[in-house]
Amino acid sequence: MGIQILLHLTVMLVLAPLLFGIIGKTKALFAGRWGAPLFQPYYDIIKFFKKGNVYSTTTTWIFQVAPLVYLATILVSSLLIPFGGLKAPVYFWGDFILFIYISGLSRYFIIIGALDTGSSFEGMGASREATFSCLAEIVLALDFIILAILSKQLILSEMVGGTILSSWPLFGPVLLLVGLSYFLVLLVESARIPIDDPTTHLELTMIHEVMFLDHSGWDLACVSYASMMKFFVLGSLFVNILIPFHNLSAILQTVVFGVGMIGLAIIVGIVESCIARLRLNRIPELIIGAFVLALVGLLIILIKGV
């Protein structure tokens, strides 16, 4: 058990920044540039870890602890998801509820961490984060409802594993709809274009990134590392839903999983290159769109019966 957990965490800790490198490379290629090296995110994180910290006199311990809680919750929630051949090391009946709520815990802490600085920009980002994540959570809940009905399971690794293969021939369209709506949730939760632009220069238009204006050194390293791993965790769930590979051998599964993750990163890169960021007041409409997609999936199940 202990070794499994460590292996799981190591895989994620090592591979998560690579996805961001791939996204960056894809975007650069689309823009006709050669771009930063593939391993740039690693260099960034190492650089942040080496830097000293600057703390605002307004802040309390909450500001310092929030990045740690953020990182820790992502690490723990990754234990509930299988990575290809690596089975989920921890599982129990109803663990996906913990998965949703543990991300709520990290969100709560980064929001109050942002409010702790007393900066109006960070307050603004916190307010937007609270609004959009709370809408995205509904879509996530609906996706999980469909997966639970199809798999007759309440264990996250089983809901996206084993039985999903047998549902593909019968409920292919439903799973595609779930995958699509989940993809939009993934974009919202990991703060990518078209919801949020992490590379924008204007604080007024940011959502997620503006909450970390005052973070420096270790805290900034934790936050950016955690964001990369959050993308990895959410992305691996996406790959598990969409690519039915669960009866292959462990090595093949891992290969398929790896290819799927790289594919996901490239898709996100392409989406970011082709679409502009949405206006803030249009974002709820996008999330409601994702909700409707999942709802159509549920209706198909209701009409067809299980």
Partner 1 sequence: MNFFLYSLAFLVFSVFLMLFSARLKKITSGIFLCSLIVGSVLAIISAIKVLVNQTSLDYHAALRMPIGEFYLGLDALSAFFVFTISVLFLMSGIYGYFYLQDCEKKNLNAHYSIYNLCLVFLLILVTAKNAVLFLIAWEMVTVCAYFMIIFYDQQKVVRKAGYLYLIAAHTGTFCLFIMFLLMQHNTVLSGGQAGSMNFDQMLLTPFSLPLAGLIFVLAILGFGVKTGFMPMHIWLPHAHPVAPSHVSAILSGVIIKIGIYGLLRIILIIKDFPQWCAVLLLFIGMISGVGGVLYALGQHEIKKLLAYHSIENIGIITLGLGIGLWGQINQNEMVALLGYAGALLHVFNHAVFKGLLFLSAGSVIKATHTGEMDKLGGLLKYLPWTGHLFLIGAVSICGLPLFNGFISEWLVYRALFENMFQFKINAIVFCSLAIIALSLIGGLAIACFAKAFGAIFLGNSRCLDNKQLKENSLFIAPMIVLGGICLWIGLFPKTMVSFVLRAASVVSAVNLSPIKQSAIISPLITMGFVLALLILTIVILGLLKKISMNFSCTKKAQTWGCGYSLPTSRMQYTASSFAEPILRIFRNILGFTVKGNKPSGYFPKEERISAHVVEVSEEFIFKPIFQGIQFLASKLKIIQVGFVQLYLLYIIAFLLLLLIWKIV
Q: Counting contacts by CB under 8 A, is residue 138 touching partner 1?
A: yes
Is the C-alpha dihedral spanning 294, 239, 97, 211 positive or negative?
A: negative
Residue 33 vs 101, nearer CB to partner 1: 101
Token pair listed for 65: 């602890």
Beta-carbon count within 10 A of 256 CB: 18
**Least Å distance between CB 246 and partner 1?**
21
Q: Counting contacts by CB under 8 A, is residue 127 touching partner 1?
A: yes
Residue from 279, 293, 277 nearest 138 by CA: 293
Which 8-state DSSP code applies to residue 212?
G
Contact of 42 with 289, CB cutoff 8 Å? no
Q: Counting contacts by CB under 8 A, is residue 170 touching partner 1?
A: no
Q: Of the candidates 35, 123, 198, 263, which one interacts with partner 1 according to CB under 8 A? A: 123
Residue 12 vs 22, nearer CB to partner 1: 12
Q: Counting contacts by CB under 8 A, is residue 265 touching partner 1?
A: no
Q: What distance in Å separates the CA atoms of residue 139 and residue 142, rounded to the nearest whole number? A: 5
The residue type of 183 is F
CA 24 to chain centre: 17
Residue 220 vs 261, nearer CB to partner 1: 220
Q: Of the candidates 11, 28, 29, 68, which one interacts with partner 1 according to CB under 8 A? A: 68
Q: Of the candidates 16, 19, 149, 286, which one interacts with partner 1 according to CB under 8 A? A: 149
Q: Counting contacts by CB under 8 A, is residue 278 touching partner 1?
A: no
Please report, as residue ranges, which positions from 4 to 33 form the binding site for partner 1 (by CB under 8 A).
5
Q: Counting contacts by CB under 8 A, is residue 289 touching partner 1?
A: no
The residue type of 22 is I
Please report, as residue ranges, which positions from 38 to 67 form the binding site for partner 1 (by CB under 8 A).
49-60, 62, 64-65
Beta-carbon count within 10 A of 185 CB: 26
Q: Counting contacts by CB under 8 A, is residue 198 touching partner 1?
A: no
Q: Counting contacts by CB under 8 A, is residue 150 touching partner 1?
A: no
**Least Å distance between CB 117 and partner 1?**
5
**Least Å distance between CB 2 and partner 1?**
10
CA distances from 166 to 33, 240, 286 (A): 44, 14, 31
Query: For residue 89, what are the contacts with CB-CB under 8 A and spacing of at least 6?
Result: 1, 4, 5, 8, 79
Letter string b/e over residues 261-282, b meaning 16 or more CB atoms within 10 A of that residue's CB: beebbbebbebbeeeebbeeee
Site string for partner 1, 218-257 (x = CB under 8 A): x---x-----------------------------------
Q: Of the candidates 37, 118, 172, 173, which one interacts with partner 1 according to CB under 8 A? A: 118
